[in-house]
């Protein structure tokens, strides 16, 4: 609970899905620890939230900078379907060098929050057995119906079962 939370807005299936990998590597926030929150808006933004103090900082890539990047050979070749690991280092290295040497304020914009509206979801330690498939389900994901516990797929199946035909 005392750990940093990263909220990522990039989304997936586009030219910069790997933004999230960079955030995971740099912050240590992971899906498994539930402190990597995906808020897929297709925006190049990351919010870092500190649960203890409720402070946060939202980091965005500056529009001008990102537009310049999209005109570079790196993105042109990527758009042609060439995966990043097949790109010539001569195409990739200038991008890396620029990120490492340019003043960060020219690349990123910051927005600070003294009080950020984020509710931490407490960890659940209870699990129940689904009365149909008999598998274990974390209680916050299970549904109770007529005094029985169900996992979501089994409850859906129960509620959408075909009606018995008469005759």
The footprint of Zn ion (CB under 5 A) covers 130, 132-133, 151, 154
Residue closer to Zn ion by CB (options 36, 130) is 130
Tokens 């990739």 map to which residue?
Answer: 92
Q: Which is nearer to Zn ion, 52 or 134 (CB)?
A: 134
Pick between residue 49 and residue 149 the one whose CB is nearest to Zn ion: 149
Min separation Cβ 130 and Zn ion, Å: 3
Strand partners, 145: 148
In the complex, what is the shortest distance from the CB of residue 164 to Zn ion, in angstroms, rounded to a whole number? Answer: 22
Buried b (16+ CB within 10 A) or exposed e, 80-92: eeeeeeebeeebe
DSSP 8-class letter at 31: T
Residue placing its CB nearer to Zn ion in the complex, 26 or 133? 133
For residue 19, CA distances in Å to 44, 72, 140 come to 8, 17, 30
Minimum distance from residue 133 beta carbon to Zn ion (Å): 3
Q: What is the dihedral of CA 91, 92, 93, 99, to 10 degrees?
A: 130
CB of 157 to Zn ion, least distance (A): 8
């Amino acid at each position: 609970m005392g750990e940093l939370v990263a909220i990522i807005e990039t989304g997936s299936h586009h030219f910069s899905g790997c933004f999230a990998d960079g955030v995971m590597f740099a912050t240590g926030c992971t899906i498994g620890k539930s402190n990597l929150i995906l808020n897929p808006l297709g925006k190049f933004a990351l919010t870092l939230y500190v649960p203890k103090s409720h402070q946060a900082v939202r980091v965005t890539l500056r529009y001008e900078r990102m537009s310049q990047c999209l005109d570079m050979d790196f993105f042109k070749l990527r758009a042609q379907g060439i995966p990043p690991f097949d790109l010539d280092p001569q195409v990739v290295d200038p991008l890396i060098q620029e990120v490492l040497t340019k003043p960060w304020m020219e690349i990123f914009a910051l927005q600070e929050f003294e009080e950020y509206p984020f509710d931490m979801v407490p960890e659940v330690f209870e699990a129940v057995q689904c009365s149909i498939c008999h598998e274990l389900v974390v209680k916050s994901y299970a549904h109770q119906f007529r005094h029985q516990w169900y996992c979501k797929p089994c409850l859906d199946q129960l509620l959408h079962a075909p009606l018995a035909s008469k005759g």
